[in-house]
Structure 1
Amino acid sequence: MEEKKIRNMDELATVIGISRPTLSKYFNDPTKVRSATRERIEAALDQYDYRPNMFAMNQNRRSTRNIGIVVPTIADPFFSEVVRHVEMRCTAAGYWPIVIPSHGATEQELAALDTLRTLKLAGAVIAPLGETSDVERLRQFADETPTVLFDSYLDVGQTFVGNDNFNSIGLMVDYLCRTGQPPCFLDMPAVNLNASERRDAYTASMERLGHEPYVVPISRSNWNFEELGYEEGVRLISNREFPSGTVLCANDRMAIGLLAAAYSKGLRVGRGSGCAMRIAGHDDHPLARFTCPPLTTVAQDYTAIAERSVESLFALIDGNSGAAVPAIQKLEARLIIRDSA
């Protein structure tokens, strides 16, 4: 005789001989039901090859276990690494992480927020575009949903977690000035607040040390940082427009492009004799130690940014934990000295 096909949880509860609430309790947390009941449920799951639609179950609750994660791009190693840690922490805590990239576009960021609204989120972790974000729409979203922002600060949501750019840029400027010619600063496109913060931090650090700051601007604005670093680097080197042989780039991806530009123009980069340039970056990109020469940089603490973001969000979701969540959490970076500077 053909095995009965189980279509839903009500039918499964009936064939097992337990109540529907008990079965739901098992799927929420198997340890919450008695061991004998758990064994009966698991035997029936194997016998009837039944698996519930956990997403549908989640959506039917008054308060779901969905966590929304929005980032400008998952192609950037910083965002992919932070998202990886956030996903793992959420999953381990019994939440359902849902990642939506905004692809560097305002309309895509708004579409992501609209999509997440339909999913009755427990909370959200968002790295906003920043300069091009619709701040009012983000604020409306955060008023409805516990929200933690990371990476790019906006006055939105309950808390922000990110790198202390004045600390990290200060570490690098101090090192470069101490070990050679004071650096000029190759800017990054104004895609978020990090751009202006790092530029201001460079200027303040140079002035503190008694040196004249010189910012080399980038006129174009997109997320193709390596391409911009290469093309601008070739132009600036060809026209002899770098005011210093030491260049601090606003991020490692710009620095990687500049390293390629220096190579294409026959310039040796590094600290030794015969080197025409020193090049340094910011972030500790996963490829930074494999460039030629390996890139001197300052390392953002990817893991700590993810951990703090998730811990803060869980505290906001719990509400009654009694732990105060700091409104702004700035984390210090670490100087990584390699051969490029």
Structure 2
Amino acid sequence: MNPPKIRNMEEFAAISGISRPTLSKYFNNPDSVRKTTRQRIEAALEQHDYRPNVYAMNQNRQTTRNVGVIVPNLADPFFNEIGRAVEVACLEAGYSPILLSSHGKPELEAENLVSLRSLKPAGVLLAPFGRASDRKTIEKVSKEVPTVLFDANISETGAAFVGTDNFQSVGLIVEYLCRSGEPPCLFEMEIPSNPNALTRRQAYLQSMEHHGFAAHILQAKGMGWDFEEIGQSEGGALIRDGAFPTNTILCSNDRLAIGMLSAAYKLGRKVGHGATCDIRIAGHDDHPFSRFTCPSLTTIAQDYAAIAERAATALFRIIDTGKSPSEREETLFEGKLVLRDSA
């Protein structure tokens, strides 16, 4: 006959002979009890096959060892990769990450933040949508819970930010494209989904002026998360109609560029270097798929690992000290030019 299932910590305390306060102390931090007591508790846990309700325990604490990590869309391999790096940084620091996706919906980002707040997390790491984000919700949560933004910056919220120096990175690839062939036109979304796109536009304009070339910006209408489809359909139409004044296209992100490469193939335009090629295409981000396109995509690599580690470190410092820095911290990492066959 199977023994009755233990439903809560009170029943476990009664059957194990270990006091409820001692058990709470152990579950909060096993090293906080004496070695002999810890061994008794662990033996009882094994014997009675009991595991506490961590959610219920957390509800009784002021804060937990949980860290919320919210990204715009885990279906996007870029955010999957950077989300994974942030998750690993949390685990290595002894925190339990709760990784949430907003599935490309800004309203879900706000819902995720509110839901996380009810779980009493130690802190939140947020890669916001930016322009479409509910800034009041982000600002409210960041005042109540230590919060660090990464990837996309919203300076008005007051939360610390860690990301890529887009002026440096775009300047780097514009300089290369101007030096190695015809100066680049910029292809972007008319309504950017991410504030990085606006910064990259400004960086492109600044860099083109610096090199003494006229800037040409062509835009895909509308907004959304289907960048490859937009790059293929609208970017392809621009290529077909001869809308680009030069034979070099710098896309605001790699996903647009991947769609452009597909469009060029369908139109019979050869992408790459040299006199036999019709067009050069480059991107930004070093998307996980960019090395596997045909031809492989010239781009800017962001330092995922460094961004993740610094964002997590900044958050843990705020958590440990119990207060935010007197001035808003912004940490920017330089991008790295990755030369491949497309440009």
- What TM-score range do you get, normalising by the shorter chain? over 0.9
1:245 — aligned with what?
247
Q: Is the 8 A contact 1:316 1:325 kept in 2?
A: no
User: 1 CA distance for matches of 2:96 and 2:55?
Assistant: 8
Please tell me whether the aligned partners of residues 106 and 133 of structure 2 are also in contact (alpha carbons under 8 angstroms): yes
Is contact 1:148-1:157 (8 Å) kept? no
CA deviation vs aligned residue, 1:180-225 (integer Å, no higher than 9, x gap): 1111111134112111100110110011011111111121211111
Tell me which of 216, 224, 234 is aligned to 1:222. Answer: 224
CA contact (8 A) 1:78 1:302 kept: no
CA distance in 2, matches of 1:87, 1:162: 16
1:11 positional shift: 2.6
The change in CA–CA distance for 1:43 and 1:224 in structure 2 (over 3 A counts) is same
1:120 is aligned to: 120
Partner of 2:136: 136
Alignment partners' CA distance in 1, 2:10 and 2:64: 20
Within-5 A mapping of 1:227-238: 227-238=229-240
Structure 1 match to 2:31: 31
Deviations for 1:23-76, whole angstroms, at most 9, x for unmatched residues?
A: 223223333333322222222112111111112211211222232222211111
SS in 2 for 1:70: strand
User: What letter is aligned with 1:265?
Assistant: L
5+ residue gaps, structure 2: none
Partner residue in 1 for 2:188? 187
Partner of 1:90: 90
Contact 1:172 1:297 in 2 (8 A): yes
Residue 278 (structure 1) aligned with residue 280 (structure 2): yes
Deviates more, 1:31-40 or 1:76-85: 31-40
Which range moves more in the overlay, 318-327 or 38-47?
Answer: 318-327
Inter-partner Cα distance in structure 2 for 1:192 and 1:86 = 19
Show the counterpart of 2:159: 158
* 8 A contact 1:315–1:325 mirrored in 2: no
Write out aligned runs for 1:172-183 (5 A). 172-183=173-184
The one-character-per-residue Cα deviations of 1:129-162 (angstroms, maximum 9, x if unpaired) are: 1112222232122111111111111121330111
Whether the aligned pair in 2 keeps the contact of 1:230 and 1:261 (CA below 8 Å) is yes
Give the corresponding residue for 2:299: 297
What's the offset of the Cα at 1:124? 0.9
- C-alpha distance in structure 2 between counterparts of 1:326 and 1:78, whole Å: 26
Deviation by residue 1:254-308 (Cα, 9 ceiling, x = unmatched): 0000000000011111113311111111000111111101111000111111111
Q: How far, CA to CA, are the matches of 1:325 and 1:80 in structure 2?
A: 31
Q: Which runs of 5+ in 1 are unaligned?
A: none
Are residues 1:212 and 2:217 paired?
no
2:158, 2:328 within 8 Å by CA — same for their partners in 1? Answer: no
Q: CA deviation at 1:321?
A: 8.9
Would the aligned equivalents of 1:58 and 1:66 in 2 still touch at CA under 8 Å? Answer: no
Please give the alpha-carbon distance, in whole angstroms, between the structure 2 residues aligned to 1:275 and 1:168. Answer: 26
Residue in 2 aligned with 1:60?
60
| Number of equivalenced pairs | 341
Q: Secondary structure of 1:84's partner?
A: helix
- 1:78 Cα shift? 2.0
- Give, in angstroms, the shift of residue 110 of structure 1: 2.2
In structure 1, the residue matched to 2:15 is 15
2:70 match: secondary structure: strand
Secondary structure of 2:158's match?
coil
Mapped partners of 2:327, 2:121: distance in 1: 19
Question: Residues 318 and 324 of structure 2 are in contact (CA less than 8 Å); yes or no, is this contact kept in structure 1?
Answer: no
Contact 2:9 2:52 in 1 (8 A): yes
Q: TM-score, normalised by structure 1?
A: 0.94
SS of residue paired to 1:44: helix
| Higher mean C-alpha deviation, range 54-63 or range 32-41 | 32-41
CA distance in 1, matches of 2:92, 2:200: 35
C-alpha separation in 1, matches of 2:220 and 2:324:
46
**Separation in 1, partners of 2:104, 2:22:** 45
Distance 2:16 2:162 in 1: 48
Alpha-carbon distance in structure 2 between the residues aligned to 1:15 and 1:72: 47
Task: Report the AA paired with residue 246 of structure 2.
Answer: S
RMSD in angstroms over aligned alpha carbons? Answer: 2.0
Cα distance between partner residues in 2 of 1:4 and 1:281: 61
Provide the rounded CA distance (Å) in 2 between the counterparts of 1:339 and 1:211: 24
Deviation at 1:251, TM superposition (A): 0.5
